[in-house]
Structure 1
């Protein structure tokens, strides 16, 4: 089965994991290239992050990588207050497919919503992909702003970040926790990444992360398999699980073969093809296979 990874990171000096070095165990690009060949990953949405001084320059790094590797589809990190129009134009000239924002609370979500409402036109014109790390408290502040981005693809990372669960929550508790996110299912251009399940487990390495199952069940019910997107969260996930384990997230065992293919690549592949057609760029088309 061909796969498209909806969420990973690549840092020039490696992700500083829980032990002070990259859990990938080597040059992250080289390691991921081996993994994508082994697991048939044809494309990867590489999510930018510059939220700390040790990550400064990640956008420049991703732009260089995307120039050299056509399977890399990069998203540029933006602060919660966004960037000016010149910054958006620069991202587009550097072949970024969209932007990534990290919204930990209501205040940051309000700031981001104010900015993104003002630049909805350029983002829609570019058919941008937006990757949002936002817990339910933040997601609940974004509805009006995201409704204006109907020419974009908006993806919430890590099952909507419901937080660590000391025990498996009831379906009712899961629904209550993610209600601000599932309310956004009314917007057909909004989806959710099945990634970072370790961020729900307590402890984080408690694979297969049974506490995540009620959330996956809920998201399947509200968004459907056509708007869920598998992501490895390489390399941070490797602090807790193996890469092979990220390929088997809990809660997807009841899907049909067609639905599995959709979640693990078909949905994002189609979204990127629509983006390439809508924006008039070549970025987002699928390479022939994981060969580089």
Structure 2
């Protein structure tokens, strides 16, 4: 089964993990390249992040990678209030970015992001941008109107909606209560959820297979269905806690049919990403390319 990875990071100097060095154990691009060849990962949504001083410049680094590697589909980091330069979006599309990433920790950040989305929606819709959102439930509760106004974008909420760490697996009712703001977005057909970062739900984080994540996965599967769930490895931060091979098998998906599993593990992402130049997957309709949107 071919895969597509909906959430990973690549940093020029490596992700400074819990031990002060990248848990990938080497050059992150080279390490991930070997992993994707071993595990049959065809495409990857590489999530930009510049939310701390040590990560400034990550967008520029990803632009350079995208120019040399057609399997990389990067999303550019934007602060909650949007980019400081209005021309950044046009430049990012020209550089090969397929969308944007935002990190929303609280309602204030969410409201600022929503206001910016109101101004940027036409530009994002024009190119069919992918929005990768790391948003807590408290922040997600304020996103509905702004996301509903996006007509031609795909919104991917990372890490099961960040439900927090749970030493003991909660009941499904409790899981649904925690994720209520995210479940409220299930009525929007362009919103999906990444099955990534399950280690952050476990306590301790290395307690694979992360049984505490199971009720959250099951609740999300019931609300969004297998066509709007997206597997993601969270390379390389996840390697602080588990092996890459362990990220390949999130809990809660046991009942999927082979076709549904193929969708979650890669098919869904491949359908929303812009088609690589000259390449159309059999059975799919050609997608617009991001470059077309800057004309």
Q: Distance in 1 between matches of 2:291 and 2:169?
A: 44
1:203 aligns to what?
Answer: 204
CA distance in 1, matches of 2:166, 2:275: 37
What is the DSSP-based 3-state SS (H/G/I as helix, E as strand, rest coil) of the residue aligned with 1:237? helix
Q: Aligned residue for 2:29?
A: 29
Residue 141 of structure 2 is matched in structure 1 by 140
Q: Which residue of 1 aligns with 2:54?
A: 54
Task: Name the SS of the counterpart of 2:5 in structure 1.
Answer: strand
2:282 maps to which residue? none
2:250 matches 1:249 = yes
In structure 2, how many angstroms separate the alpha carbons of the residues matched to 1:196 and 1:136?
A: 15
Secondary structure (helix, strand or coil) at the match of 1:186 reads coil
Deviation at 1:166, TM superposition (A): 2.0
Distance (whole Å) between structure 2 residues aligned to residue 12 and residue 266 of structure 1: 29
Residues 73, 273 of structure 2: 8 Å contact kept: no
- Give 1:100-115 correspondences, 5 Å limit: 100-115=101-116
Over the aligned positions, Cα root-mean-square deviation in angstroms equals 1.4
**Where in structure 2 are the equivalents of 1:130-169 lying within 5 Å?**
130-169=131-170
Match of 1:287 in 2: none
TM-score computed with the length of structure 1 as normaliser = 0.94
User: Could you give the per-residue CA deviations for residues 112-155 of structure 1, whole angstroms, max 9, x where no partner exists?
Assistant: 00101111000000100000000111111000000111200000
Residues 137 and 162 in structure 2, CA contact (< 8 A), matched pair in contact too: yes
Rounded to whole Å, the distance in 2 between the matches of 1:188 and 1:85 is 28
SS in 2 for 1:184: coil
Number of aligned positions between the proteins: 283
Would you identify which runs of 4 or more consecutive aligned residues in structure 1 move more than 3 Å? 273-283
**8 Å CA contact retained: 1:225, 1:263:** yes
Runs of at least 5 residues in structure 2 that lack an aligned partner in the other structure: 278-285
Q: CA deviation at 1:95?
A: 1.2
Report how far residue 221 of structure 1 moved: 0.2
The reply on whether 1:9 has 2:9 as its aligned counterpart is: yes
Instruction: Report the alpha carbon displacement of residue 271 of structure 1 after superposing the two structures with TM.
Output: 1.1
Structure 1: segments with no counterpart, 5+ residues: 284-292
Please report how far the alpha carbon of residue 275 of structure 1 lies from its aligned counterpart in structure 2 after TM superposition: 10
Match of 2:281 in 1: none
TM-score using structure 2 length: 0.93
* Number of the residue aligned with 2:283: none
SS in 2 for 1:85: coil
Residues 131-280 of structure 1 correspond to what in structure 2 (within 5 A)? 131-273=132-274, 277=286, 279-280=288-289
Q: CA deviation at 1:111?
A: 0.4
Give the alignment of 1:46-85 within 5 angstroms: 46-83=46-83, 84-85=85-86
Structure 1 SS opposite 2:185: helix
SS in 1 for 2:110: helix
CA contact (8 A) 2:135 2:161 kept: yes
Whole-Å separation in 2 of the counterparts to 1:125 and 1:38 = 36
Deviation at 1:273, TM superposition (A): 4.5
CA separation in 2, counterparts of 1:149 and 1:95? 21
Distance 1:124 1:275 in 2: 19
Q: Which residue of 1 aligns with 2:280?
A: none
Who is 1:94 aligned against? Answer: 95
For 2:132 and 2:39, the matched residues in 1 are separated by 23
2:142 match: secondary structure: coil
